[in-house]
Structure 1
Amino acid sequence: MIEKVRKLLNGEYENRLMPFFWQHGEDEATLREYMKVIRESGCRAVCVESRPHPDFCGEKWWADMDVILDEARRRGMKVWILDDSHFPTGYANGALKNAPDELHRQSICTSRVPLCGDDERTEIDVHSMFPPAFCPNQLEQYILSAMLADAPRFADDRILALTAVCRESKEQIFLTVPEPGEKLVWEKRDGDWTLFITGLSRNFGPHREYINMLDEKSCRLLIDAVYEPHWEHYREDFGRTIAGFFSDEPELGNGHIFDNEGRLGGEQDLPFSSAMTEELSARLGADWANLMYLLWDNESDAQETARVRYAYMDAVTKLVREAFSRQLGGWCREHGVQYIGHIIEDCNAHARTGVSLGHYFRGLDGQDMAGIDDIGGQVLPQGEDAPLTGTMGLPRDGEFYHYMLGSLAASAAAIEPGKHGNAMCEIFGNYGWAEGVQLEKYLADHFMVCAVSIILCPTHLIRRRFRILTVRRIFMRTDIIPSIAISAR
């Protein structure tokens, strides 16, 4: 113990802090000065933030990376690379623009037609009712048109199943889907029925030029567009100066923008891919498509609804694990580097589709560290109970942030052998300039106690020429992890 304390006081400790180094295409002198200041502050690594750069994976990018890596080699620093040109990870640096339609995101969705009264011959043009209209929320009303201005339009929408459900008896009738241009003809029975028109569409949501997290070939586009070019340019640095790649908040991308409450049973499209057909058939049988309406219907048999929703989420999250997380992580380890990052966890979003990946542990399974994110006032002193709203007036679950967020990372680090006990937290961002040293120390201490051992912080802390001071230490297993505070020089 005394020897460890001596080493810490002499600056002989493993690096536990790496700032995001935002890139805007600065000149060489500026890049070298920033690397110098970052190293003098005590940081021995940076995560190169690629998204503001005007020429990611272009000539200017490689020129800037040459400078950053040269400084890192001279100063004994490690470099991590954020792995995309747009937020969130999954844009694949625009690779989807020229990719085949089948590699783009796909949704399963449903339209409903109420059919009430006496038995009668019913004729319905079901093809005109699918896909259902996308109803923008308040935020999307202002930004969706701009986001979709250049979005592709896909022509492979199709109906999978027509399921008629009697509200009184809960009886299901599986109807034959008519050919395009023809109408459904059905001799409806007495009672109140609902016809569910369930099918597939690629024309939903704001991120139509993002990879499909359920499709291995689609996810491979990110590797080919970002990871492979870095290997071609800097293979000698992989595993030496280049430590690895960082994915920021990859998402399934269905539903509404920034909607953390996208639960099954709500009015939203849901993620799908060709691989889901086999997965759902194995879990639910040959008539799986006719049962998909239960992903939205909240009035049918609760046990059957739970069975179908469980099968769907199990299939989705296992495909995410294989197609995205393990594929990227496997590529990194084959090339001598590590793969890290985090998903959106806000208010348990990590267990849902939409802005996250549906399953915290499966979503990060292929990564070499457990990862979480604490930004925008999520964790606050005595913030377990209040305020009830956070950023942009959205609901804030103080108990989740205070008690569960750090435990997610600690749990993944402990139970997954490939993570070797390492947990990472992106921290301090979006708290505003009112965030001071005392709050930063509180946040660092809070997550260190939760067993988070590596911290990523915004570059503006370094820009203001802050330096790292070791203020106290805690004992965890056989390691001493320094708690840190940031103070102005």
Structure 2
Amino acid sequence: MRQIDKEFKNPGAEHRAKPFWSWNGELTTEELMRQIDVLEDMGFGGFFMHSRTGLQTEYLGEDWFRLTNECADEAKKRGLEAWLYDEDRWPSGIAGGRVTKNPAYRMRSLRMQVLQGGSVPAGEENLVAAFACRLENEVDLYDCEQLKPGDKTDKTLLLMRSVEMEKDPNYNGYTYVDTMNPEATQYYIELTHEQYKEKCGKRLGDSILGIFTDEPHRGTLMDAFGTGGDLARIPWSARIPEEFKKRFGYDLIPHLAEIYYKPEGRSVAQVKQHFVELCEQLFLESFMEPLNKWCNENNMIFTGHVLHEDCLTAQTVMNGSMMRNYEHMTYPGIDILSGYNKCYWVAKQIESAARQTGKKVLLSELYGCSGWQMRLEDYKFAGDWQALFGINLRCPHLSWYTMEGEAKRDYPASIFFQSPWYKEYKSLEDYYARIGLVMKQGDPVCDLLVLNPIESVWCQVHIGWAENLGPKAPEIKKLEDQYTQLFYWLCEGHVDFDYGDEDFLKRMGAVEKDANGAPLLRVGQSVYKTVLVSGAVTMRSETLKLLKAFENAGGRVIFAGEKPAYLDALPVEAGTYDFGSSVAFEREPLLAKLDMAAARCDSDKIYLQMRKDGDEYYAMFLNMVEEPVETVINLPEGIVTELCCRTGKQTPVCRNADGTMKVFFQPGQEHLFRVSAKTCPDCGCKCGEESVETEKQQAQGVSLGDPIAYELDEDNVCVLDMVQYRVENGGWSDEMEILQADRRIRDILGLPYRGGSMLQPWYAKLLMREKPKEEGTAFELRFAFEAETVPSSPLCLALEHPERYSIAFNGVELDMTPDGWWVDPCFQKVHVPNNAIVTGKNTVVLKGRYCSDSGLEAMYLLGRFGVRLETRGESLPAVEKVSYAPGARHLYGGVHLLGGTSVLTELPKVLKLGSIVEQGLPCYSGKVTYKFRVPEGAGEGEISLEGFGGACVNVAGQTISFMPYKACVKANEDGTLDVQVVLTRRNTFGPLHELPIVAFAYGPDSFMTTGDHFTRGYGLIGNGLHAAPVWTACK
């Protein structure tokens, strides 16, 4: 038996995801051990121990290391993998701010000031250069001359200063680090990596496998990202002028203006390319290589990702060439933010670099910013294309240790016990573990190298070239469009390919011949038969020489569209690119020219990746669209077995006489096949009689109609998040959302705002050690809701830190003694006497003392009651105008925008089909079990669901998460069937007041919107079972 067959049903920890385990509160051994148990139950293979916003245990303190060791030891006992994370929050490199206490290690940029005439200041230490020039069209540079201090000019005056990054609480009051300074990196290693080595000892490389570096970068290149909108900045370090001259043979300073502008109106300038290249080299040499070296020397795996990969522009803005970073990581990684990101080429880039550098494990930090509304199927849609393109170490973002305070807004959702579907989640990780196992087998079937044109972006940068990490200049937009279009054409034509970075080609490229004498172009550990050049404006002279040598040896070089007009970012001489063959930049002519698909598929909506392991092939097909597709595929000759990654089953598949197979794909569905012999087995059936996964003709199904009863597995929720406040017995404020009130009080007390980038609590504690204990300032909050009827069943109030407050419902003081927790241990439940609730208006008054570490948060009234949300004078926009942000995924159950006043009602006697939001359960987020009557005499049958608003559905012990939403089940003995819809926490934890209601991505700012992006009403998603199940009896 093959080893893969032994493992396929239940792959081990190495093939399973390791989430970011967000250490974001006061850590205790007991709670950490409980959570490891949950992580294992969810199907994870380990965890990254990751400091996040809200951490109270001192980062890199004695307790931190003790708890790290305890978790690593527990992981080893369970057969799980424990991993470190190398920073307090992110980006990596500052050791929680300790590195950049030293001003010499702080990040700097070269900031340009533009004046209309004037004199050059004398005696400014940070003034690097000054120029007089004439500007046209805002970016075209003419008559530029360098000036000295004291010189005057009537022309446009450009002053360029080396400026230190502004201090920020995100870096615990300091700045990010100069990642082009090797001394800063060495100090960082001493404070972080060496401390782990000392405190964790022999665990490194054993129970602790490796360490994750997160979002390092070398500074922004003329983009508003991270600069407060200042476009006139480029990365800078004290080493740059000297290193530039050493590496390129000329002085940079006299040419600085040519980086910011277009010299003589030309888009392309060599100094631009040289400058970005230098920054890339310095970043790699000063940051990535030292970290990789330390890991190699200490038996540790180095993984993580650098900042921003989504397009060539984003890569250039923050780093340069993303592919060159991957070479310096044991397990290179990417970061795919949001649940709707479709930048498929990001995974293709890392897959290419990994193939060429011999790396078998590729990481993706995925699901970040995706929001509470994600279904299990959404997680599958977001993960499938990454698995297709080689991602086999999943790092789900994020599993919160706690939801306390600001932590609950740290880029939700929490893929952990706080989500009601966490017990159903394991099936998803089983599925991806199986795909990862299979797609590690053998080697890729790939003969095409596509020249990566990123250096054609470098040589065309200027002020205004990019906007928010995307292209703005027309010439860059054209290049980006052609880059992505080529990707789609090749994938739709089922032609596998690798990108080729020109630095890789320079250092790893060679022309060879195979055993039959056919020419090959080698790049590291990969070889290719054809090279495709498309979209490039410039090319390196070394690349040109290599491609000519390849063609002279008989290899194929194809230019699609216009040939480069530059060589080394200088205009080319006639005849420079007179080699290779040319084809129009059009899909069909290009694919016909290539004619090299590894397998055939009639549909361009199906993408394909193939592996060859000895005499066996593995082929993964994926439907990239959300509609069904039936197509014909043709695999290499041999016996075909389908490996079902959802169930772990292996099933022989028969072909038609011509070797083809008809295959049916549900929306987003995958099929994975193994081809393992040269002849078709004697299967005793007519080959090709039925398609794989075809929609077979079945008996007519019967609608089960309306549910006859329902059950909730949690108490219903009335969210209390609209409030009035007063400080020290002052006047009451207007009613506002709770987080807005928190900021108003902080304004009054002169305290900085809380938020995702606030000073870390552990660091604030260190600052407060020498100060007297705060007494705080007295404050009160007043919440209001209405009651149409007084609930007769027990009630409780869930809130954080009940010991800090006194609370009265309509004057009735509550006993603040906690009695268990709800959703997360931070939400402590206190009893609310039923006589504290009255019909009509109810007022809840909370009193406490506000200190620097305080924070106002919503409270949650829990019980067996209904809730109706009504307007009380507020004006709400039409819901259809504020439903979805651009790029956001449309939800099956739709959305609601309801009034801002909560009214308690009785629970409905029964639930109708459709959204539960306007049936008394607007903010409920647990599980809802619908009871249906099945046809008389029914025993076993197939249940089919049209769709539902929720994460997944449980029926008779089976979980239905993915299309076609069917399962074979057995009815209850009393002739009923229970259909349990597992909801998400979106309608409880929000964001509840953000417009549009469904965003493309979610983070801390999603909960603090203003203006047109804020509503006093509640924006909710349509939860529940929206159509009657269909029952088909089994014959």
Shared fold by TM > 0.5? Answer: yes
1:244 CA displacement: 1.0
Q: 1:224: which partner in 2?
A: 190
**Match for residue 132 of structure 2 among 146, 161, 164:** 164
Letter in 2 for 1:369: Y
Aligned equivalents of 2:134 and 2:20: distance in 1? Answer: 56
Check whether the contact 2:106–2:165 (CA below 8 A) recurs between aligned residues: no
Q: 1:325-364, aligned counterparts within 5 Å?
A: 325-343=288-306, 344-348=308-312, 350-353=314-317, 356-364=318-326
Change (3 A) 1:438 1:261: farther
Letter in 2 for 1:48: M
Q: 1:108: which partner in 2?
A: 110
Q: 1:136: which partner in 2?
A: none
Unaligned 5+ runs, structure 1: 116-122, 131-156, 380-397
Check whether the contact 2:81–2:208 (CA below 8 A) recurs between aligned residues: yes
1:283 CA displacement: 5.1
Q: 1:282: which partner in 2?
A: 246
**Match for residue 69 of structure 1 among 63, 68, 72:** 72
1:261 CA displacement: 11
Aligned equivalents of 1:162 and 1:258: distance in 2? Answer: 23
Q: 1:297: which partner in 2?
A: 261
Aligned equivalents of 2:360 and 2:319: distance in 1? Answer: 22
Aligned equivalents of 2:334 and 2:314: distance in 1? Answer: 10
Q: 1:35-434, aligned counterparts within 5 Å?
A: 35-52=36-53, 53-54=55-56, 55-99=58-102, 101-115=103-117, 124-126=119-121, 157-166=125-134, 170-175=142-147, 177-178=148-149, 183-185=150-152, 193-204=155-166, 209-254=175-220, 259=225, 267-282=231-246, 285-298=249-262, 300-302=264-266, 306-343=269-306, 344-348=308-312, 350-353=314-317, 356-379=318-341, 398=342, 401=343, 403-417=344-358, 420-434=359-373
Aligned equivalents of 1:257 and 1:308: distance in 2? Answer: 19
After TM superposition, the structure 1 stretch with the greater mean CA deviation from structure 2, 443-452 or 471-480, is 471-480
Give the total of aligned pairs: 416
Check whether the contact 1:260–1:346 (CA below 8 A) recurs between aligned residues: no
Check whether the contact 1:47–1:81 (CA below 8 A) recurs between aligned residues: yes
**Match for residue 438 of structure 1 among 354, 374, 377:** 377
Say which SS state the counterpart of residue 15 (structure 2) adopts. coil
Change (3 A) 1:452 1:252: same
CA root-mean-square deviation: 3.2
C-alpha deviations, 1:298-328, integer Å up to 9, x for none?
Answer: 353526x521110100000111111111111
1:377 CA displacement: 3.1
Check whether the contact 1:317–1:357 (CA below 8 A) recurs between aligned residues: yes
Higher relative contact order (CA 8 A, sep 6+): 1
Aligned equivalents of 1:167 and 1:51: distance in 2? Answer: 46
Change (3 A) 1:345 1:364: same
1:236 CA displacement: 0.6
Aligned equivalents of 1:414 and 1:449: distance in 2? Answer: 14
Change (3 A) 1:98 1:274: same
Q: 2:575: which partner in 1?
A: none
Say which SS state the counterpart of residue 26 (structure 2) adopts. coil
Aligned equivalents of 1:108 and 1:331: distance in 2? Answer: 31
Say which SS state the counterpart of residue 302 (structure 1) adopts. coil
Say which SS state the counterpart of residue 71 (structure 2) adopts. helix
Say which SS state the counterpart of residue 88 (structure 1) adopts. coil
1:232 CA displacement: 0.3
Change (3 A) 1:312 1:415: same
Q: 2:519: which partner in 1?
A: none
After TM superposition, the structure 1 stretch with the greater mean CA deviation from structure 2, 473-482 or 10-19, is 473-482
Say which SS state the counterpart of residue 172 (structure 1) adopts. strand
1:454 CA displacement: 0.8
Check whether the contact 2:339–2:379 (CA below 8 A) recurs between aligned residues: no
Change (3 A) 1:94 1:260: closer
Change (3 A) 1:241 1:258: farther
Change (3 A) 1:258 1:65: farther
1:246 CA displacement: 0.6
C-alpha deviations, 1:421-461, integer Å up to 9, x for none?
Answer: 22111112321121011111222222111111110112232
Check whether the contact 1:410–1:423 (CA below 8 A) recurs between aligned residues: yes
Check whether the contact 1:370–1:424 (CA below 8 A) recurs between aligned residues: yes
Check whether the contact 2:218–2:279 (CA below 8 A) recurs between aligned residues: no
1:462 equivalent to 2:416? Answer yes
Say which SS state the counterpart of residue 47 (structure 1) adopts. strand
Change (3 A) 1:259 1:96: same
Aligned equivalents of 1:262 and 1:450: distance in 2? Answer: 35
Aligned equivalents of 1:113 and 1:12: distance in 2? Answer: 64
Say which SS state the counterpart of residue 231 (structure 1) adopts. helix
Aligned equivalents of 1:306 and 1:256: distance in 2? Answer: 16
Q: 2:35: which partner in 1?
A: 34
Moved beyond 6 Å, runs of 4+: 255-258, 260-263, 484-489
Aligned equivalents of 1:368 and 1:415: distance in 2? Answer: 13
Check whether the contact 1:294–1:300 (CA below 8 A) recurs between aligned residues: no
Check whether the contact 1:84–1:90 (CA below 8 A) recurs between aligned residues: yes
1:260 CA displacement: 8.7
Sequence identity (%): 21
Aligned equivalents of 2:228 and 2:348: distance in 1? Answer: 23
C-alpha deviations, 1:114-158, integer Å up to 9, x for none?
Answer: 34xxxxxxx625359x8xxxxxxxxxxxxxxxxxxxxxxxxxx42
C-alpha deviations, 1:319-343, integer Å up to 9, x for none?
Answer: 1111111111110111110111112
Unaligned 5+ runs, structure 2: 400-413, 443-617, 621-643, 648-950, 960-1035
Check whether the contact 2:133–2:156 (CA below 8 A) recurs between aligned residues: yes
Change (3 A) 1:167 1:97: closer
Aligned equivalents of 1:234 and 1:92: distance in 2? Answer: 17
Aligned equivalents of 2:187 and 2:231: distance in 1? Answer: 30
Change (3 A) 1:433 1:166: closer
Check whether the contact 2:69–2:200 (CA below 8 A) recurs between aligned residues: no
Letter in 1 for 2:235: P
Change (3 A) 1:185 1:428: closer
Larger Rg belongs to: 2
1:167 CA displacement: 5.2
1:257 CA displacement: 9.2
Change (3 A) 1:211 1:97: closer
Change (3 A) 1:253 1:288: closer
Structure whose residues are more often helix by fraction: 1
Letter in 1 for 2:275: Y
Aligned equivalents of 1:377 and 1:19: distance in 2? Answer: 16
Say which SS state the counterpart of residue 87 (structure 1) adopts. coil
After TM superposition, the structure 1 stretch with the greater mean CA deviation from structure 2, 334-343 or 465-474, is 465-474
Letter in 2 for 1:277: P
1:477 CA displacement: 5.6
Change (3 A) 1:91 1:173: same
